[in-house]
Structure 1
Amino acid sequence: MSNLAQEKKYKKIITGLSIVIPLAVAALFGINLRKLGFNVAPLTFLPPIYASINGITAVVLIAAVIAIKKGNRKLHEQLNTFAIACSLVFLLLYIGYHMTSDSTKFGGEGAIKYIYYFILFTHIILSIIIIPLVLTTFMRAKLGNFPQHKKIAKLTFPLWLYVAITGVVVYLMISPYYV
């Protein structure tokens, strides 16, 4: 099968995942198992863990860029694969927290409140946009289409890094309001 045919096949999968993941997260975000009568403990210990995973993702992404700039393609691939795994673990923990715990309201006042909501809004929107970008970037590298990989990576990297860093920032800003 040619690279073009393989890319076409993978694009269908990427499109499907790019639609299903945000819809599933939104649907599961609205389900609180405790309020539905399930006897589950609230997973209130998870936010600092998944915020740390976002921080690790940011560091790994920077390390991946340094690796490729030094010509170490194998390390670059390993680091990006690890960053994808970190993002997946983050997502699972995030869903687990929100399915077992009440959402925390930001309690800041004045300008900080608007800054928080701006960061949160851009974080959420870009976390949705980044899904097809990360998957497409990864797929092009796996298929050996390095010119197209490099082209999309120039967009994917800063957006993914922003999502990872703002995940930590959002946690730090809201953490004083956790009950």
Structure 2
Amino acid sequence: MVDNSLEKKYNKLIIAVSIVVPLVVAILFGVKLKDFGFDVEPLSFLPPIYATTNGFTAVLLVAAVIAIKNGNRKLHERLMTTAISLSVAFLVMYVAYHMTADSTKFGGEGTIKYVYFFILFTHIVLSIAIIPMVLITYVRALAKNFDKHKKIARITFPIWLYVAVTGVVVYLMISPYYVN
């Protein structure tokens, strides 16, 4: 049975989270703990960890699609919940790193610089857009509104996969320029 009240119940929360998370990330991205007198070392060990987290998220997304296509709804649900958890963990690590370290400038030149900035720009824009899409998709599944869930999941999946994969690509492209 479809539970439309559950979707309605979460709509305001989805809208709030979809606005607040990017705003808070943008604000915290500009906050440096050392500017507030905190003597903290840069969390320079985090970028390869959060890039790996993005990689695992991509693998889980593909595995979840395979699971549902094979009729394994429980496995699909667990994989998707884990993918969401990894995405949240990524976000926390990403913000923590940028609150303790200066931004790394991409050092490539020529065509590769334009490729990097294109990938980075699309990654950032789509990482903001994917927040409400993932939440709506997830809530529709919780509400057992599987027809609507499937419709949006077909759009959400490739965008989320792109964001996860390009997170790894951006890291690999900028990693030679990190200062240790």
Bin of the TM-score, shorter chain as denominator length: over 0.9
Deviation, 1:142, is 0.5
Structure 1, 5-14 or 109-118: larger mean CA deviation: 5-14
Q: Percentage identity across aligned positions?
A: 68
Deviation, 1:35, is 2.8
Structure 1 moving runs of 4+ over 4 Å? none
TM-score, length-normalised on structure 2?
Answer: 0.97
Q: Does 1:71 align with 2:71?
A: yes
Q: What is the CA deviation profile of residues 100-137 of structure 1, one whole-angstrom value per residue up to 9, with x for unaligned ones?
A: 01110000000000000000000000000000000000
Q: Are the aligned partners of 2:6 and 2:139 in contact in 1 as well (CA < 8 Å)?
A: no
Match of 1:50 in 2: 50
Match of 2:111 in 1: 111
TM-score, length-normalised on structure 1?
Answer: 0.98
**Structure 1 unaligned residues grouped into runs of 5+:** none
Number of aligned positions between the proteins: 178
Deviation, 1:40, is 1.2
Match of 2:95 in 1: 95
Deviation, 1:166, is 0.1
Within-5 A mapping of 1:10-29: 10-29=10-29
Structure 1, 107-116 or 34-43: larger mean CA deviation: 34-43
Deviation, 1:5, is 2.3
Mapped partners of 1:102, 1:138: distance in 2: 35
1:34 alignment partner, SS class: helix
Deviation, 1:39, is 1.2
**C-alpha RMSD of the superposition:** 0.8
